[in-house]
């Protein structure tokens, strides 16, 4: 058996044994470190051909702290990105909307074109109201059902959809504030365990009706 030595963030980590003839895995070396006196640490400098060098223990601790800070920053970025992805996925599933004709349909909000369609209906409703017209405007939902709306109903429809989307952004902001607070406290485990599945508009509606 041959002994290999782990290069852990630039410093001596664990040792392990491998079969003769096997190459050292990435992040490990066959080069044995020197005897390490009290107050010193072994630092890998193999890229410059020097192998292990002895440095003050404080340098190793500083490197570990810097690595932890980088890992926490990466964890924070990933958690915030997960909130954005969750928000966008929930909006893209569409808004269940009760229409004035007594049926409930899904307002598609998958992309910008869907948002433009909703805004066009609301804008048309505003124009009908301004003109005092009794004409109507139509909207076709995700279930391919066409709903006929008066001017006032079209405006209310647009406002309801806008408020629903805004509620998702508000929920995302609340999640992000909570996540940043955990990161500021350095609570790594709580940050990893933080549940981003709660507190969204659809869930609040389901809970209120149950």
Question: Which tokens sit at 188?
Answer: 């790594």
Local confidence pLDDT in tens for the 210 residues of the chain: 899 999 888 888 889 999 988 998 888 999 888 898 988 889 888 766 678 888 888 877 877 777 777 888 899 999 999 999 999 999 999 999 999 999 999 999 999 999 999 999 999 999 999 999 999 999 999 999 999 999 999 999 999 999 999 999 999 999 999 999 999 988 889 999 999 999 999 744 433 333
Question: In angstroms, rounded to a whole number, what is the distance separating the alpha carbons of residues 148 and 100?
Answer: 8
Q: pTM for the full model?
A: 0.69
Ordered by start, the domain boundaries in the chain are 2-60, 71-196
């Amino acid at each position: 058996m041959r002994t290999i030595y782990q290069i852990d963030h630039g410093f001596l980590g664990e040792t392990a044994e491998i079969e003769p003839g096997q190459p050292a895995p990435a992040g490990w070396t066959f080069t044995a470190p020197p005897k390490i006196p009290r107050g010193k640490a072994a630092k890998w400098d193999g890229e410059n051909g020097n192998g292990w060098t002895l440095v003050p223990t404080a340098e190793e601790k500083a490197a570990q702290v810097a690595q932890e800070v980088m890992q926490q920053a990466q964890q924070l970025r990933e958690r915030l990105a997960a909130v954005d992805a969750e928000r966008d996925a929930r909006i893209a599933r569409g808004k269940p909307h009760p229409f004035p004709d007594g049926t409930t349909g899904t307002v598609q909000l998958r992309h910008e074109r869907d948002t433009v369609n909703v805004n066009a209906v609301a804008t048309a409703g505003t124009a009908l109201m301004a003109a005092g017209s009794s004409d109507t405007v139509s909207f076709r939902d995700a279930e391919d059902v066409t709903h006929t709306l008066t001017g006032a109903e079209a405006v209310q429809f647009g406002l309801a959809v806008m408020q629903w989307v805004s509620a998702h952004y508000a929920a995302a902001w609340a999640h992000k504030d909570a996540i940043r607070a955990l990161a500021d406290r350095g609570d790594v485990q709580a940050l990893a365990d933080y549940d981003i599945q709660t507190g969204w508009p659809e869930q609040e509606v389901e809970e209120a009706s149950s």
